[in-house]
Structure 1
Amino acid sequence: MNTDEALPPSPSDKVPRTERGRKTLRKLLNAAEVEFGEKGFHDASINGITMRAGTALGSFYTYFDSKEAIFRALVSDLSARVREAARKRQDEHLPALEQERVALAGFLRFASERKEIYRIIDEAEFVDPSSFRDHYQSTAQRILERLRAGAQRGELRSDLEEAHAWAIMGMNVFLGMRYAVWQEEDPERIADIAAGILGAGITAPKERQED
């Protein structure tokens, strides 16, 4: 799936019914990502979005009623694209730890290409708190489902719960901030480090502790 073509859910009367309409909506969302990412929600404007998209002002109101509406749709869109980026190289037959490594590497690549995502998602906490919560809750739920599947196969501990998924997500979020947004590093190397933490922890082997 091409993540640039993924579109967020819209009210029934706002769903584009033609290929041209879908392309226009995609242009508006891409332009909104840049506008909000560069200026922040309060300084961004509908005119700025339409100018970046190369669309008429009327086209904006065909799909969105306000700046808040397109921001909400953008958060949903980015969340969906993060999901697809993490899934891109996943395979249900991969070992559980490898699935987490692949998911993180995919996210790091996405974040390095779309650095604005951190500012936009952070602002969502104040602009549209429900979108902010939905983004993180749905991400943690996907991780938890993978962990439980790994536990059922006997690859992971049987006592894994929601807090474990949130801990992994928290690690991934900050790794993305440091190694994809602030300074780009090889996503595979960073994902390997994270997988090492998940697989072996950070305590020294017992024999070393006894030396």
Structure 2
Amino acid sequence: MAKPVTPATPKGERTRQRLLEAAEEEFGERGFHNASISNITKRAGVAQGTFYIYFASKEAILRALVEHMSQELRRSQSEAVSDCTDRIEAERTGFRQFLRFALEHKNLYRIVMQSQFVDRDIHRQYYERLLSGYEHRIAEAQSRGEVRQGDPKALAWALIGMTYFFGIRYANWEGRLPEESVVETVLDFIEAGLRPPAEDETSR
């Protein structure tokens, strides 16, 4: 498998970025198998030969796109919670930010889902990279007493799963953010599940 090309100049990076954005639209609207490199280059406004400077094939740009979307999602979440003072606040902020991100990137679900039929490793890595940092942050919060004890990986998977399906329901299916009452119901449920039990409960 050929390694992705890293552009040597800012202009090259901008071209590569345009190709990734065009691929996101093309794969999201037409599906991987119906998508074409010629349509990707037309959307990006570049010559078809330019595509092969950066990507060896349609499969290669899909792999790069999944990795790019993973990086963008994680960056978006990290920036959103950077000023939060504890893990509970970070979870509340992060949930809202994910819904906004999913709404802005409506093709996210379809592209990641399709990737498992092209490269199962990149599909799995997408979720494992989300999990890795999440698990670490939950474990740190447990050490500070901000989150109840338990397997941090299990907690991370549960939270990712909840957020994922709310994104499908609202951002992907309905193309909108949920009502505030829905968001608060979910956030209260998450907080109740994460917050350490009161002393009188632990002494029972």
TM-score (norm 2): 0.87
2:71 aligned with 1:80: yes
Give runs of aligned pairs for residues 1-211 of structure 1, distance below 5 A: 11=3, 14-91=5-82, 93-183=84-174, 184-186=176-178, 190-201=182-193
| Cα 1:157–1:29 shift into 2, 3 Å | same
Q: In the aligned structure 2, how far is the partner of 1:136 from the partner of 1:60? A: 28
Is the contact made by 2:87 and 2:138 (CA closer than 8 Å) also made in structure 1? yes
TM-score, normalised via structure 1 length: 0.84
Deviation of residue 142 (structure 1)?
Answer: 2.0
Structure-2 change in CA distance of 1:52 and 1:93 (3 Å): closer
Q: Given residue 111 of structure 1, which amino acid in structure 2 is its aligned partner?
A: A
Partner Cα distance (1:101, 1:188) in 2: 13
Deviation at 1:191, TM superposition (A): 4.5
Q: Any stretches of 5+ residues in structure 2 without a counterpart?
A: 194-204
Query: In 2 relative to 1, CA 75–130 (structure 1 residues): closer, same or farther, beyond 3 Å?
Result: same
How far residue 122 of structure 1 moved from its aligned partner, in angstroms, is 0.6
> Partners in 1 of 2:192 and 2:91 — Cα distance?
14
CA RMSD of aligned residues (A): 1.8
Pick closer, same or farther for the CA change 1:85–1:93 going to 2, 3 Å: closer
Percent identical among aligned pairs is: 41
Gaps of 5+ in 1: 1-9, 202-211
Moved more, 157-166 or 114-123: 157-166
Matched pairs, number: 191
Distance 2:139 2:145 in 1: 10
Shift of 1:163: 1.6
